[in-house]
């Protein structure tokens, strides 16, 4: 770990999101090759298997925009709740070894449960659709925030911890002046992972029981046997993910400008 990256998360963060935006030339070429191969396949395959870009684009502009906004709001709200909850639990686990001993197995247990099971539990336990979706998202994303934030906090160099302790900070000062700022790169990495996870999970959750959102749009497309609509919704999901990562990358670049 370098001096400039006290928690060693830089390589992971770069791997997850930034490289695509740092090398736009290569990214564009790769996407163009994929689009050409797709179009060639569309010529030889029937449209109900692989629709051409023209059909997909036509479906794309006719998609229900409200569904996109609804899904985005669900993801945003759930991620904020998951982050606040995850960070709070991680701070508690970092501050109390005995709490960590009890909480860690539970967090691992939550992470081991497949998303589909959480969706079924939510359908069995709760009536409200919004609550069901929020439950599934939070229960899936919060443990990732907990584990990542705790790892980041524990990864803060002993040298820096000893330096700050030599000035006799309060517990709150120790957290706010050292531990949380040092964990910030890991927090960004965790957000990137969770944005991707939440967009996939919300789609699956909306497939079951929802009457709005991208997942519901996919169900309708499937029921109408409109393959072009399915691909158009998929395209929307990919674009959302890329845009979200780009925005997060910008914020990260600003907030972590102290890193080389």
Partner 1 sequence: MTGAIDIEVCGLQKLFQSTVSDTPVLAIDRLDFEIRAGEMVAIVGQTGCGKSTFLNMLIGLDRPTRGHITIGGRKPYDDFDHFRGVLATVFQQDRLLPWRSALDNVRLPLELLGNDRHEQTARARVWLDRLGLSQFVGAYPHELSGGMRQRVALARAFVVGPQLLLADEAFGHLDEVTSAALRTDFINLARNEGKTAIVVTHQLEEAIEMGGRILVFGRPGHLLADIHLANWSSARLSRLRGDIQQMLQSNVPNRDITKPVPKEL
Nearer to partner 1, 181 or 209 (CB): 181
Q: How far is the CB of 260 from partner 1 (least distance, A)?
A: 5
Q: Would you say 112 and 169 are in contact if contact means Cβ atoms under 8 Å apart? A: no
Q: How far is the CB of 14 from partner 1 (least distance, A)?
A: 17
How far is the C-alpha of 117 from the C-alpha of 15, rounded, in Å?
30
Q: How far is the CB of 89 from partner 1 (least distance, A)?
A: 24
How far is the C-alpha of 219 from the C-alpha of 208, rounded, in Å?
9
Nearer to partner 1, 6 or 249 (CB): 6
Nearer to partner 1, 22 or 165 (CB): 165
Three-state secondary structure string covering the chain: CCCCCCCCCHHHHHHHHHHHHHCHHHHHHHHHHHHHHHHHHHHHCCCCCCCCHHHHHHHHHCCCHHHHHHHHHHHHHHHHHHHHHHHHHHHHHHHCHHHHHHHHHHHHHHHHCCHHHHHHHHHHHCCCHHHHHHHHHHHHHHHHHHHHHHHHHHCCCHHHHHHHHHCCCCHHHHHHHHHHHHHHHHHHHHHHHHHHHHHHHHHHHHHCCCCCCHHHHHHHHHHCCCHHHHHHHHHHHHHHHHHHHHHHHHHHHHHCCCCC
Nearer to partner 1, 98 or 170 (CB): 170
Q: How far is the CB of 182 from partner 1 (least distance, A)?
A: 8
Q: How far is the CB of 183 from partner 1 (least distance, A)?
A: 11
Q: How far is the CB of 187 from partner 1 (least distance, A)?
A: 13
Nearer to partner 1, 96 or 176 (CB): 176
Q: How far is the CB of 165 from partner 1 (least distance, A)?
A: 6
Nearer to partner 1, 164 or 204 (CB): 164
Nearer to partner 1, 182 or 202 (CB): 182
Q: Which residues bind partner 1 (CB under 8 A)?
A: 3-6, 159-160, 162-170, 173, 177-178, 181-182, 184, 256-260
> Among residues 63, 69, 78, which one has the least CA distance to residue 141?
78
How far is the C-alpha of 222 from the C-alpha of 229, rounded, in Å?
8
């Amino acid at each position: 770990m370098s001096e400039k990256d006290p928690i060693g998360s830089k390589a992971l963060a770069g791997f997850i999101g930034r490289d695509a935006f740092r090398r736009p030339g290569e990214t564009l070429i790769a996407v163009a090759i994929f689009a050409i191969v797709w179009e060639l396949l569309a010529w030889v395959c029937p449209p109900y298997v692989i629709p051409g870009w023209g059909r997909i684009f036509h479906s794309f502009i006719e998609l229900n925009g409200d569904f996109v906004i609804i899904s985005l709001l669900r993801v945003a709200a759930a991620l904020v709740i998951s982050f606040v909850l995850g960070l709070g639990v991680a701070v508690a686990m970092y501050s109390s070894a005995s709490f960590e001993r009890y909480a860690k197995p539970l967090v691992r247990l939550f992470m081991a449960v497949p998303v589909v099971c959480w969706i079924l539990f939510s359908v069995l336990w709760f009536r409200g659709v919004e609550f069901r979706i929020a439950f599934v998202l939070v229960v899936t994303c919060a443990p990732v925030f907990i584990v990542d934030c705790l790892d980041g906090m524990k990864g803060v160099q002993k040298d820096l911890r000893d330096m700050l302790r030599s000035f006799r900070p309060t517990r709150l000062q120790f957290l706010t002046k050292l531990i949380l700022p040092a964990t910030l790169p890991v927090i960004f990495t965790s957000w990137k992972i969770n944005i991707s996870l939440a967009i996939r999970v919300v789609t699956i959750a909306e497939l079951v029981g929802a009457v709005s959102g991208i997942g519901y749009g996919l169900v309708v497309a499937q029921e109408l046997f409109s393959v072009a609509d399915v691909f158009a919704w998929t395209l929307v999901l990919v674009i959302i993910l890329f845009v979200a990562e780009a925005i997060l990358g910008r914020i990260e670049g600003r907030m972590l400008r102290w890193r080389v």
